[in-house]
Copies of this chain bind each other. A is one copy, B any other.
């Protein structure tokens, strides 16, 4: 099957040494996970290094008092950098990873991962670059949470979550959990967006009516 050749689907893995490619293809499994699967979380350390072939994984932080904030998403063609961190440092993170859609992923066992890291400069570069990119997004997130207005962050997130037709299936509560805010706040902001004609809302979904206006607000500083 085509998945035998999955290494070619990751730009950084194209130039891999042949014996490393073979090692990866031989010892890794391609797995399918249904939407909603909890991939890792507190008390559930990931056992494999995951490369996403299809679908998206949402990584979120849940605080003691039940409040949530989405840290980042992992899309097809990316590796789950947090998984990396866990494998590297044997750290038990508080964050959890959830399959947001049905997910197809390559699961590289730790032993293979360690061996590939040890033997291949190209593989190291691939892993580190992915990891490093993610730290950058965390820095941006800290800055946004600390200094950005909630309406800007909401506009930005709506644009990010919308499908090509501008539709989003999401509740106010879920949007609040995206941004680490509160349901009422999101509701009021959406109300204002609707008043301005930028979105239309209905129970459980939102449609973008004026992406340009939202984009302008999102990039306003």
Chain A residues packing against B (C-beta within 8 Å): 61, 63-65, 67, 69, 71, 82, 85-86, 88-91, 93-95, 114, 117-118, 121, 124, 128-129, 131-133, 135-136, 138-143, 145-147, 180, 221
Known A124-B117, A221-B64; contact A143-B69, beta-carbon cutoff 8 A: yes
Smallest Cβ-Cβ distance to A129: which chain B residue: B89
Label chain A's interface by main secondary structure: helix
Tell me if A142 and B139 are in contact (CB < 8 A).
no
CB proximity of A68 to chain B, nearest CB, Å: 9
Complex CA–CA separation, A136 to B93 (angstroms):
6
Say which residue of B65, B71, B139 sits within 8 Å of A94 (CB atoms): B139
* CB-defined A-B contacts under 8 Å, sample of 21: A63-B147, A64-B221, A65-B147, A65-B221, A69-B142, A69-B143, A71-B139, A82-B135, A85-B131, A88-B131, A89-B128, A89-B129, A89-B131, A89-B133, A89-B135, A91-B132, A93-B139, A135-B138, A142-B142, A142-B145, A145-B146
In the bound complex, CA of A82 to CA of B139 (Å): 11
* Complex alpha-carbon distance, A141 and B63, angstroms: 12
Flag if A132 contacts B67 (CB, 8 Å). no
Q: Give A136 to B135 CA distance when docked, in angstroms.
A: 11
B residues in contact with A180, CB < 8 Å: 146-147
A171 to chain B, nearest CB (A): 20
Let me know if A142 and B143 touch, CB within 8 A.
no
- Please measure, in the bound complex, the distance between the C-alpha atom of A85 and the C-alpha atom of B67, giving whole angstroms: 29
A86 to B139, CA, bound (A): 13
